[in-house]
Chains A and B, each alone.
Chain A
Amino acid sequence: GDSVTQKQGQVTLSEDDFLFINCTYSTTTYPTLFWYVQYPGQGPQLLLKVTTANNKGISRGFEATYDKGTTSFHLQKASVQESDSAVYFCALSRNMGYKLTFGTGTSLLVDP
Chain B
Amino acid sequence: NAGVIQTPRHKVTGKGQEATLWCEPISGHSAVFWYRQTIVQGLEFLTYFRNQAPIDDSGMPKERFSAQMPNQSHSTLKIQSTQPQDSAVYLCASSSDWGYSAETLYFGSGTRLTVL
Residues of A whose CB lies within 8 Å of any CB of B are 32, 34, 41-46, 49, 89, 93, 96-105
Known: A41-B109, A43-B93, A43-B109. A93 touches B103 (CB 8 A): yes
Q: When the two chains form their complex, are residues B48 and A43 in contact, meaning their CB atoms are under 8 A apart?
A: no
- What are the 4 A-B residue pairs with the smallest beta carbon separation, nearest first? A43-B107, A102-B43, A104-B42, A93-B103
Chain B: residues with CB nearer than 8 A to chain A? 4, 31, 33, 42-43, 45, 48, 50, 56, 91, 93, 95, 97, 102-110
Q: A46 to B45, Cβ gap below 8 A?
A: no
| A to B CB contacts below 8 Å, 19 in the list | A43-B107, A43-B110, A44-B105, A46-B104, A46-B105, A93-B103, A96-B97, A96-B102, A96-B103, A97-B31, A97-B50, A97-B97, A99-B33, A99-B56, A100-B33, A100-B45, A103-B42, A105-B42, A105-B43
In the complex, are the beta carbons of B43 and A97 less than 8 A apart? no
